[in-house]
Structure 1
């Protein structure tokens, strides 16, 4: 198995576990999982994105934006962070964008949110 496949499988497992914990309001447990993943993979965008989601769910929008930006800075091609950043930074149109834990299939928009204004 390739190293990149192992990394992908590892993050898929973390994303599933955090998603389940957050859906069940097990916020402290989900936070611990995210922090452990961040310690193991400080250069990966996935833990930063998850930490942004955790903060957003807990209504700490400034910190959520910081973590989405950190995920974007680590990998500008990681679309879940871009989508989440667009949602949390937009005032009206972003409200219909679902939270993306990194486990959703992403279709490229025909028009970006910025172009709509």
Structure 2
């Protein structure tokens, strides 16, 4: 896995992970941009960085999963050229909340793909 961060005036405003060994490798994962920095290009820049690194690693397609209810992220990915790959998965997982308590969540995601420039 490769991690990257976007910075604005000496402050990190976003992060992304490029997973080169996932089931749908390479996979863009965990893209996050702080609310105060959204709309300023950090998400677009992190996606472009991920695409470039995946292409440099010899891949011709980049994948990502996005929640079926996450319309803002879906719009971003579609604007950047990602298209639905026709696969939907539902995952239930446990996490620790802000109060240190274990919680369960269920998430339904669509797989998206993008052909990378060679």
Task: Provide TM-score, normalisation by structure 1.
Answer: 0.33
Larger Rg: 2
More helix as a share of residues: 1
The answer to which structure, 1 or 2, has the higher relative contact order (CA under 8 A, 6+ apart) is: 2
Higher strand share: 2
